[in-house]
Amino acid sequence: QQPVQSPQAVILREGEDAVINCSSSKALYSVHWYRQKHGEAPVFLMILLKGGEQKGHEKISASFNEKKQQSSLYLTASQLSYSGTYFCGTERKSGGYQKVTFGTGTKLQVIP
């Protein structure tokens, strides 16, 4: 089952903050976040493991609430370079495998 991301798209002015949410209907082992710039392959941002920890990467951080099966990605003081599509990937057991399934993505555009 594909995780659900919201919002589908967001436009920010430089310096503004944004939150991207990712939720699953199934129990999760971990949540992965990736960013894909136009015409490029997705690039890893961070992995959050069970335990509800919050991780950070520059001004981008994320949290994982395993009870609610939700993760949120926080972008603070956004920069033009943050523009791209953000994907969450949820890891869970499926048919004997532990597999990562990606959401539909959130298109983020940062404008001057």
Residues that bind other proteins in the complex, under the rule CB under 8 A = 29-30, 32, 34, 40-44, 47, 85, 87, 89, 91, 94-105
Tell the smallest beta-carbon distance from residue 55 to other proteins (Å).
13
Tell the smallest beta-carbon distance from residue 77 to other proteins (Å).
25
Which one, 40 or 112, has the nearer CB to other proteins? 40
**Are 10 and 61 a contacting pair, CB within 8 Å?**
no
Which one, 51 or 96, has the nearer CB to other proteins? 96
Give every CB contact of residue 110 below 8 A, 6+ residues apart in sequence.
Answer: 11, 12, 13, 14, 16, 78, 79, 80, 81, 82, 83
Q: How far is CA 74 from CA 18, 26, 27, 82, 92, in A?
A: 6, 23, 22, 12, 23
Tell the smallest beta-carbon distance from residue 22 to other proteins (Å).
12
Which one, 74 or 102, has the nearer CB to other proteins? 102
